């Protein structure tokens, strides 16, 4: 019985199809980034939304700039897309957006921060947990539950008595999520 040679795994060589698909994706992302600057509002908000779906980190800086678009539709979708992409460069700009005058941007920023799951967002989120707008309170509760930091328990507990049923339910789910995470980490 001689020494048998182990089979050498084949290296993944990109096929022509996969190279073409990747090139098309890069082209699409580049075009969406260009559309963020378009004069047409419809194109800008569609581009902001599409960039989140693409998930390409090259869109992070242009989306951060789009948080200051003159139209809140673009700002809100840029905040959500930053959360979908999940790049930590969005953390500080999204935290800053929590202080925006427009409820949609605050709501999108809270959602985006929840997707980033960075504990540094907990205190800024807690600062808006009693926002006058129910959509902001609901997204803030969801974000805090998704981050799962125990510092959010007191603020979320207050939301259990919110005037809006959706906010109360979201706060309850967020508290349950934090509790599950706590049990998982202690066991």
By CB atoms closer than 10 A (0-12, 13-18, 19+), residue 11 is: exposed
Q: pLDDT tens-digit profile of 33-63?
A: 999 999 999 999 999 999 999 999 999 999 9
CB-based burial label for 155 (10 Å; 0-12, 13-18, 19+): buried
- Of the listed ranges 10-24, 48-62, 100-114, 167-181, the one predicted with least confidence: 10-24
Architecture per CATH, 18-101 = Alpha Horseshoe (1.25)
- On the question of a common fold for 18-101 and 117-187, the answer reads yes
Task: Please name the CATH architecture into which domain 117-187 falls.
Answer: Alpha Horseshoe (1.25)
pLDDT of residue 6: 47
Helices and strands, number each (H, E), in the chain:
10, 0
- How confident is the model over 71-107, as pLDDT tens digits? 999 999 999 999 999 999 999 999 999 999 999 999 9
> Taking the model in full, what pTM does it have?
0.88
- 153 confidence band (pLDDT: 50, 70, 90): very high
Domain ranges of the chain: 18-101, 117-187
């Amino acid at each position: 019985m001689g020494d048998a040679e182990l089979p050498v795994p084949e290296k993944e060589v990109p096929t022509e199809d996969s190279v073409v698909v990747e090139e098309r994706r890069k082209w699409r992302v580049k075009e969406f980034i260009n559309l963020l600057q378009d004069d047409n509002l419809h194109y800008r908000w569609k581009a902001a939304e599409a960039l989140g779906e693409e998930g390409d980190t090259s869109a992070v800086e242009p989306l951060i700039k789009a948080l200051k678009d003159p139209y809140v539709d673009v700002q809100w979708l840029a905040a959500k897309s930053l959360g979908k992409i999940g790049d930590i460069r969005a953390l500080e700009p999204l935290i800053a957006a929590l202080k925006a005058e427009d409820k949609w941007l605050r709501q999108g920023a809270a959602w985006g921060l929840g997707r980033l799951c960075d504990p540094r967002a907990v205190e800024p989120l807690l600062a808006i947990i009693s926002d006058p707008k129910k959509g902001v309170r609901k997204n803030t509760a969801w974000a805090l539950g998704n981050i799962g930091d125990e510092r959010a328990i007191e603020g979320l507990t207050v939301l259990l008595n919110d005037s809006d049923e959706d906010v109360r339910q979201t706060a309850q789910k967020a508290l349950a999520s934090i509790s599950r995470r706590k049990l998982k980490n202690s066991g």
